[in-house]
Structure 1
């Protein structure tokens, strides 16, 4: 069991202290199987998700879970990283949300908060006093849980939308909702054929791509109807009676 005993400053000054609860007073808030699943999901963030640079750039190996978080307009960047021995939270931001990064590319938590965590954990890994943190592990989940987790780690990658550095989180959300019904391979073809115009907002670009897709679908439907019509006239008897 882990407790929050106290909060200290960097110099050791105690800001607050807390009394540990009695063991008999605990309430189960999460089933063990669900907890195992969440551990696996959070480790996938580090292994192949938004925090994968902890592996590739910072060289942090072993059991490590985490989650990045970015608020609207890139005003705040968060990263929470943990294993069975240590939980660490990093926040990058300002007291006023009006102070923020201009683009998601530069202001996302993977570029702001996560590098701080990476440098911090590298120092811990190098310190022999904290070997128990570096080599901490969780128990292997039961076979049933492992079977439920035996699925592709991610969906096929969506096509890249060019010139998105100036887009806000809200604009990217609108883009995703607008083109969600378009299959990835069709969307990729549409983006190649219809590049984003200069000074065109992401919202307008998404609407233009969707209209192109709908018009293309209507053309394909009419083309198929004409094909079916003439096949019925020219080859209808052969299809029905073989004459």
Structure 2
């Protein structure tokens, strides 16, 4: 019996103001796989990620997380209630490019709040788990610090710890290094590389070509909302099937 994919996307389409930004996207991500999504600006990469956790509502198609449909009820096709949607979303961790930390809470409380008020953990258990994940991303010593005192790379590592602490089945990264100064990119990519080696299932929208080449199991290229190439990194970066991908990679070398 074939292994059930951790994420299954079928015929996903989405438009904004009559402009189709995703068209009939099909994608499967197996447990423990790292999938990098590449493409030029405006190609639909971030919209795809936001549809996976239903931050954007697709126009058509279906998304399943570990076999469970998100957004619509299987039998009735009616929208899920907020409680039903929240339950499925617990399987997904999202890391945004802009960190989205609460400025009035210190690092530890940024991580423990959802553990206490969403997952219902006792404070002591939430603190223990939060510290374990802050240690994993190298931020345990900053537990009492506030976001305003942190560098961009440190903020993003706290955001990663916060998502990991919820113990999701799939981690979604939306251009996690795009808001960082160049010298801070490496510390975030290092954490993500460690996660990939530990078997985390990850879908990553990124412009970091070397990272995608070295860490991915699959590389997906979006152009105007359509997947035009989907292959292993050794094929994608060395012998892509699409002329558009070849031009994209040549441009990246020039830049």
TM-score, normalised by the number of residues in structure 1 = 0.25
- Bigger proportion of residues as strand: 2
- Bigger proportion of residues as helix: 1
